[in-house]
Amino acid sequence: MIQISSLERKSFDASGDVKIYDNFLKQPDFDKLEELFFTDNHFPYFFKPFKVSEGDGFIQFNHYFYDQQIILSDFFEYVLPILEGLDVRSLMRVKANLQPKEDNIRVTKLHLDMCDPLDNQKTGIFYVNTNNGKTIFEDGTEVDSVKNRMIIFPGSKQHAGTTHTDTALRCVINFNWF
């Protein structure tokens, strides 16, 4: 893994078409988001008995901020600083995924976030906390979960997530847009 300076937002290519941005948000914006997800007892998550497909043996909790051209969350304003850092012409979906700690690292199956993505559709994953979970791409590229990191890649690029074993929770926010 390439180390990046923590002084300013910088990017590097992980595998040619995967861009990684460390320190994506300014610290005050990140602190508000981190507090929302890990301190605020009023933030609602909803249980989902699978991650990628029914019966896959994974569980997670979701919070949909935006889907099908509708703001679905009273907390949408918290993701606006992230959206301001992206080149969004048309937003498709924004959702948070929260996973509890597991005893072993397991990898989900490769998948696309949106069915039949168009050529210019993008996917972004924002890591809310640091843990030993990863995002793994079809070419074998692995990206570590580092807080305040954003990865951006074509929506047509298959990827998988992993479980984690070193923190109580793993939280990411997925973005899909044109």
| pLDDT per residue as tens digits for the range 116-164 | 766 789 999 999 999 999 999 999 999 999 999 999 999 999 999 999 9
CA 156, 19, 117: angle at the middle one, nearest 5? Answer: 15
CA nearest to 37, candidates 97, 108, 123, 106 = 97
Within a domain: 1: no
Total of domains in the chain: 1
Instruction: Find the CATH number of the domain harbouring 152.
Output: 2.60.120.620
Supply the range of the domain harboring residue 108. 12-39+57-177
* Average pLDDT score, the chain: 89
- The pair of three-digit structure tokens given for residue 128, joined into one six-digit string: 């809310």
Average pLDDT over residues 63-71: 96
CA nearest to 62, candidates 78, 47, 49, 75 = 47
**What are the DSSP E strand ranges found in the chain?**
10-13, 19-22, 46-48, 60-67, 70-71, 91-100, 122-127, 131-137, 142-145, 149-154, 159-161, 169-177
